[in-house]
Amino acid sequence: MSQLSTQIPEGYVKVFSRPRSLSDAKYTYCPGCHHGIIGRLIAEAIDELGIQERAVGVAPVGCAVFLFRFYNVDFVQAAHGRACAVATGLKRASPNLIVFTYQGDGDLAAIGTAETVHAANRGENFTVIFVNNQIYGMTGGEMAPTTLPGQRTVTCPEGRDVKLTGHPLKVSEMLAQLDGPVYITRQAVYDARHIQMAKKAILKAFRNQAEGKGFSLVEIVADCPTNFQMSPVEANRWVVEKALQYFPLGDLKVKED
């Protein structure tokens, strides 16, 4: 029988439930996908900062293309890779808005590299959530710029050959070299402890914007169980054992005051 129909016995209080900023729509992600966790963390951050009325998200192209369905906040859908350019326009036109983009590695690190680098270099005052799952998810698991050396995808079935296709692009390290950004960090969401740390980073990135500090980017190393052709539990393990070897966690740039 459905547990939802079970009455909660007397004396029990709710300690965890869906954040208000998340809508009732079901996620369209595959089972076990980290997008869902990251989406919830953003909604919790918006709730905690009380910015639901003035938050505007910029949705990418990729698995998160339906992002606007999942939130009770306003959204703009950007062309592929151009989320940072759209966010620049939004934020400059209405500085009172809290603008964030949510982009995958195909969006931010491939087709949208130029927009991202220049928005960071200009120090635009918005927040970027960058989900790095080392593969193109929505289109069927092709090699991404962030695919690990030797990692198999449908377009490199023998594993990524760095002599032919180059090395994985370390976007956060690259942007941390610039003078524009105030906060660049890399986080993961494969266990409860790291989920809490990622949430703190997202909160800090939103606070930076609310205080007018400038460009903040939170990279989150995620999985893609479907296209890794693994179970969700195995894909979680892959993040720890493989992805984090190449993409170590931590703050890459924190500019105070």
**Backbone phi, psi, residue 243, to 5°:** -65, -40
In the shown chain, the binding pattern of residues 1 to 30 toward other proteins, with x for contact by CB under 8 A and - for none, equals: -xxx-x-xx-xxxxxxxx---x---xx-xx
Of the candidates 149, 153, 177, 172, the residue with the CA atom closest to the CA atom of residue 162: 149
Q: Is 131 in the site for other proteins (CB under 8 A)?
A: no
- Give the DSSP H or E segment for 43: helix 35-49
Binding residue for other proteins, selected from 94, 177, 229, 231, defined by CB under 8 A: 231
Identity of the residue, 26 or 163, whose beta carbon is nearer to other proteins in the bound complex: 26
Do the beta carbons of residue 28 and residue 66 sit within 8 Å?
Answer: yes
Please identify, using beta-carbon distances, which residue of 69 and 122 lies nearer to other proteins: 69
If one asks whether residue 34 binds other proteins (CB under 8 A), the answer comes out as yes
Residues 6+ apart with CB under 8 A from 245: none
Restricting to residues 181-220, which ones interact with other proteins according to CB under 8 A? 189, 191-192, 195-196
50 near other proteins, judged by CB under 8 A: no
Distance CA(46)–CA(48), nearest Å, equals 6
37 versus 85: smaller Cβ distance to other proteins: 37
Return the number of other C-beta atoms located less than 10 Å from residue 162's C-beta.
Answer: 12
Compute the residue count for the chain.
257
Site residues (CB under 8 A) for other proteins? Answer: 2-4, 6, 8-9, 11-18, 22, 26-27, 29-37, 40, 189, 191-192, 195-196, 225, 231-233, 236
